[in-house]
Amino acid sequence: MIAVTGASGHLGNTIVRMLLERGLPVRAVLRRLEPPSLEGLPVERVRGDLLDRPSLERAFAGADWVIHAAAFISTQDADRMSLERINIEGTGNVIEAALAAGVRRAVFVSSVEALNLHHGIVSDAELDAFHPESTVMAYGRTKALATLEVLRAVRERGLPGIVVAPSGFIGPYDFGSSLTGRLVRSFLHRRLPGYLEGAFDFIDVRDVAKGVIAAAERGRVGSWYLLSGTQIGVPGLMELLAEVSGVGKPFLKIPTWLAIAYAAVAARSMRLLGRIPLYTPNSIRILQTGALFQPERAAAELGHDPRPLRETIADTVAWWREREGLPRAPEEAGRSREATRASK
């Protein structure tokens, strides 16, 4: 039995789907028992809240593995209090509940944001890699502190914990509309006024899910694994989206200084309206770090081998088009007709 926190999220529901494909029983730990992302999936649903330790102890009872994929993700430092409570205190509760349940494996999903992205090259061959003071924003700091708590519990209390740190994941099954999903969606609806300079590493959410499960199966307790994919500049990402979708790319290049200034004003305004901005000053600064990731240990020990980014983008575009009822590009329609003929 595998208990998954955050099972309704983008990564969480992808992990659940992959576990089910392997014929493994899954217990989804949820605040709401009927999320759209798990509709029709044969999983056990139990209530669990990261800030309610007894609920986690009940949810983990009898589980062999715990996969902790739940987190509060925000690029706004104004959310510091919620970030600290959910990501740090919540992870502490997961640790205690996992120890109480006596699980055999506990995989904790951290983030590359918890690493020093100003370092230039980041490798999971580096043992001492999580330094909260070196992170770019409050989210990364809380994930770094939570990760250190996990590793401390491994050393001092015998927690069978393993940590994975994915880069920016993107892909289908994005029912909650992640930041990367919103970027693709905005592109398809032609709502992007321009593009920014900078680059980041993106990986297919399905490859992250595969890496999480591999960590549970054969990862070394006390180790951390970098699950990265392909670094691409924002202009290159716009080109790729345009090629795959047939939608024209934005041609307005927005200077970084102007983007940060505008994002600061827009973020405050949208916060008052209860909306989440696509870009914030912190997310723009992340794009300027230019960090390169080397998943050496993940490749050697977990068999990490991410698929080409173009394939990911094509599948993501197709998923959003189907979900939103958008017309397919001629290339997609042709592939669909070929697949239909092949199935007959």
Note the pLDDT tens digit of each residue in 40-76: 999 999 999 999 999 999 999 999 999 999 999 999 8
Q: What's at 143, amino acid-wise? A: K
Closest CA to 3 of 153, 144, 88, 104: 104
pLDDT exceeds 80 at position 198? yes
**Please, are residues 29 and 4 in contact by the beta-carbon 8 Å criterion?**
yes
Number of neighbouring beta carbons within 10 Å of residue 65: 23
Q: How do residues 258-302 score in pLDDT, each as one tens digit?
A: 888 877 887 777 766 677 777 788 888 988 988 899 999 999 999
Residue 298: its pLDDT value, please? 98
Residue 339: its pLDDT value, please? 35
Residue 259: both structure tokens together:
């983007």
Torsion angle of C-alpha atoms 160, 13, 214, 316, degrees rounded to 10:
-150
Taking the alpha carbons at both ends of the chain, their separation in whole angstroms is 38
- 284: β partners: none
Residue 71: its pLDDT value, please? 96
pLDDT exceeds 60 at position 338? no
Q: How do residues 114-141 score in pLDDT, each as one tens digit?
A: 999 987 899 999 988 999 999 999 999 9
Torsion angle of C-alpha atoms 226, 228, 233, 234, degrees rounded to 10:
-100
Q: What is the DSSP string of 208-227?
A: HHHHHHHHHHHPPTT-EEEE
Q: C-alpha 150: how far from its chain's center?
A: 19
Mean pLDDT of 196-204: 94
pLDDT exceeds 60 at position 340? no
pLDDT-derived band at 193, boundaries 50, 70, 90: confident
Residue 341: its pLDDT value, please? 42
Between these two residues, 291 and 221, which has the higher pLDDT value? 221
Domain ranges of the chain: 2-172+202-228+291-306
Residue 281: its pLDDT value, please? 83
pLDDT exceeds 60 at position 313? yes
pLDDT exceeds 50 at position 343? no
H-type alpha helices, 273-329 = 281-289, 296-302, 309-324
Class of domain 2-172+202-228+291-306: alpha beta
Q: Say how far apart CA 193 and CA 254 lie, in whole Å.
A: 9
Q: If residue 266 lies in a helix (H) or strand (E), which one and from where to where?
A: helix 256-272
Residue 291: its pLDDT value, please? 87
pLDDT exceeds 80 at position 220? yes
Residue 259: its pLDDT value, please? 81
Q: Say how far apart CA 66 and CA 98 lie, in whole Å.
A: 7
pTM: predicted TM-score of the whole model, two decimal places: 0.92
Residue 68: its pLDDT value, please? 98
Rounded to the nearest integer, the mean pLDDT of the chain is 91
pLDDT exceeds 90 at position 334? no
Residue 166: both structure tokens together:
């994915």
Share of the chain above pLDDT 70, in %: 94
Q: Mean pLDDT lowest for which of 135-149, 208-222, 249-263, 292-306?
A: 249-263
pLDDT-derived band at 331, boundaries 50, 70, 90: low
